[in-house]
Chains A and B, each alone.
Chain A
Amino acid sequence: MSEVHWGLLVAAYLFLAGAGAGALFISGALVLSEKVAHAHHWSTAKFSAIAGLLLLMLGTGMIVFDLTSFQYGIFNGDMSKLLRFYRLFMTFEPSSMMSIGTWLLTLAIIFALLFCFSFKRHDQETFTSRGYALINLILAVCVASYTALLIGDIKHNIVWSNSILVVIFLVSAISSGAAVVLIVKTWLKQSDPHHHFAKADSMVMLIELFVLGIFVYVIANVSKFYGLDNLLGMATSAGKIWWLGAVVVGLLLPLLLNLTSIMGRVGVSHAKEYGIAALTLVGAFCLRYSVLLAGQSY
C-alpha cells in the first residue's frame, strides 16, 4: 500500500477510546472492590469515571472528524455532507466491525454517563453504582478490544490481522487508563507513600513490554516471509515511532521512573507523577499510530 488513508485522527480515535475505556475499567474495579469505602478512593473512582467518559466522547469525535464526507462538508460549506456522519450512528450493519464498534462506543458513553451520575448520590454501598460499575467494566474491555478488532478485521493486512494486537491494545488501554487515573490522583493531591499504584502500574507495563516483544518478533518473521523489509524496523517511519515513541518514551522511561521510586523507597513528587502519566499517554498514542502506519506501508 502506498497511501495512508488512516492517519493521526484514526490513531487519536483508537488512543482516546482505549485510554477512556482504561480509566472507566479502573474506576469500575475500584467500586466493585469496595475500596471506595475510603474517601480518597471514592474521589479517584468518581473523577476517573468522568475523565474516562470525556475521553470516550472525544475519541468518538475523532472518527467523525476523519470522515471524508465531514471534511468535505466543512471545506465546502455543504451541510448535508457535514451531517451525514449520523448514518454511522443510525445504521447497524452486523458484518461491519466499525458499525458494531460505533454502537458499542455509544452504549459505553451512555452507561459511563449513568455511572458518573450515580456518584452524585454519595452513597458508596448502593447496588445501582455497583451494577453500573460492572456494566462499565465489561463495556470497557469490549471497547478496548474493539479498537484492535477494527483494524484486525482487514484480513489481508499482515500487520493488523494479528490476534495478539487485541491483547496489546487491551493491556495498553489499562496502562493508559492508569496514566489518566494517576493524573486524577495527582490533581486530587493524593500521595502514594507505599508505592501501591506505582507497583501495579509497573506490572502492567512489564506485561505490555512482553506482549510487544512477541508482536515485534512476529512482524519481523512475517515481513521476512513476504520478502519485505522489517515493517517495524528503524528504517521505516512506523518503526521509528514504534521504538522511540511507544517503547522508549511510553514504556521504558515511565518504568524506569517508577522503579527508581520503588527501589529508592522515596516519595514520588507530583511533578514526577505527571511526567510518568504524560510519557505513558504519549507512548500509547505512538503505539497505535505506528501500528496504523506499518499496516499501510507495504
Chain B
Amino acid sequence: MLDRRRTLKLLAGGAIATTGMMFIPADPVIADIRRQGKKRLAMVIDLGRCNGCKACVVSCGIENGNLPDEHRTQVPQHSVDLNGKQYVFNLPLLCNNCDKPSCVSVCPTGATFKREQDGIVVVDSQLCIGCNYCIQACPYDGVRFTHSATGTVDKCNFCIQRTSRGLLPACVETCTGGARVFGDINDPESEVSRLIRQHRPLVLQAGKQTSPNVFYIGLTQDESNRANSINSPQTWQR
C-alpha cells in the first residue's frame, strides 16, 4: 500500500528523474556509436563510365524511402565548352561526407555528427529539429534537404544501414556502368585506394576546405571548382 509519504517521495523522484533526462546533452546519446573503429569510407565516381541512366537515383530513393522529388543523389547533366563546341556530361552528386564537414559544428542539437569508426556524416532524425542551419552551412547545394515524411533534414549517409553490414550502398550496387566505386580509403588494398593512386581524381570545390570523401575521375580543375547543384535544371529538360 502506498501511504501519502511514499507517494510524495515517488512523485518527487519522478520529477527529478524527468528533469534530469531533459537536461541530458546530445553527446552521450551518440558516444556509443562513435566509439569503435577507424575506417574512412569514400566513393570514387568515374565520369567516363557514367551513362546517366539514373538507376542510382531510383535505387537510392527505394532503399531510403525518399519521395520522388527529394533525392539523396542525383545525376544532373552539365554542359562544357570545349574548343568552341558544347558538350554535355553527367555529374552524379551526393553528400560528400566530408572529413571536415561544415554542417557538423553548426548543428545546435548535435543531430548531425561524424562517425569516428568510418567517417560517415550522419543526421539523427530523432534529434534533428529542422532548423536548416546545416543546409545553409553546406557548400554543396541541394545535397541536404528536408524529408517531407519526417520534417527533418535528410542526406546521403552512404546507405549506413547497408554498409554497416558489409553491403555496398544501393547506388553503387545498381550502377549500370560501374561508375561508382565504394570502399575504405585507409585500406591500401581497396579498389577506391587503387583508383585514387592511379587516377589522382579531384573533389568538388576543394577551395571550401571541407576535405570531401567523394572523388571524381575525369573532372577538370575548372569543372571541379564550379558550385554545382543537385537541383540544377537537367540539360535535357531545358
Contacts and interface: CB of A to CB of B under 8 A. Distances in A.
Contacts of A189: none
B105 A95 contact: yes
Contact of B151 (A72, A151, A156): A72
B102 A88 contact: no
A1 B108 CA distance: 22
Interface stretch (A2-10, A39-47, A128-136, A138-146): A2-10
A138 to B, nearest CB: 23
Given A3-B231, A5-B136, A91 B25 contact: yes
A98 interface: yes
B139 interface: yes
Interface in A205-225: none
Contacts of B141: 1-3
B129 A84 contact: yes
Contacts of B105: 95-96
B108 A154 contact: no
B208 A156 contact: yes
Contact of B131 (A67, A86, A156): A67
A69 B147 CA distance: 10
B26 A91 contact: yes
Contacts of B146: 68
Interface string B124-160: 0001111111011101011000100011110000000
Interface string B110-123: 10000000000000
Contacts of B25: 91-92
A147 interface: no
Interface string A139-175: 0000000000001011111000000000000000000
Given A86-B22, A156-B208, A96 B108 contact: yes
A97 B102 CA distance: 13
Contacts, number: 97
Between A67, A68, A78, A296, the greatest number of chain B beta carbons within 10 A of the residue's beta carbon is seen for A68
A242 interface: no
Contact of B142 (A2, A99, A154, A296): A2
Between B22, B129, B135, B150, the greatest number of chain A beta carbons within 10 A of the residue's beta carbon is seen for B129
A72 B150 contact: yes
Interface in A22-81: 63, 66-73, 76, 78, 81
A79 B64 CA distance: 24
Contact of A71 (B22, B109, B142, B151): B151
24 contacts: A1-B229, A3-B141, A3-B142, A3-B231, A66-B131, A66-B132, A67-B130, A68-B132, A68-B146, A68-B153, A69-B151, A72-B152, A78-B151, A81-B151, A84-B129, A91-B108, A96-B105, A96-B106, A96-B107, A96-B133, A98-B106, A98-B131, A102-B108, A296-B136
Interface of A: 1-3, 5-6, 63, 66-73, 76, 78, 81, 84-88, 90-93, 95-99, 102, 151, 153-157, 296
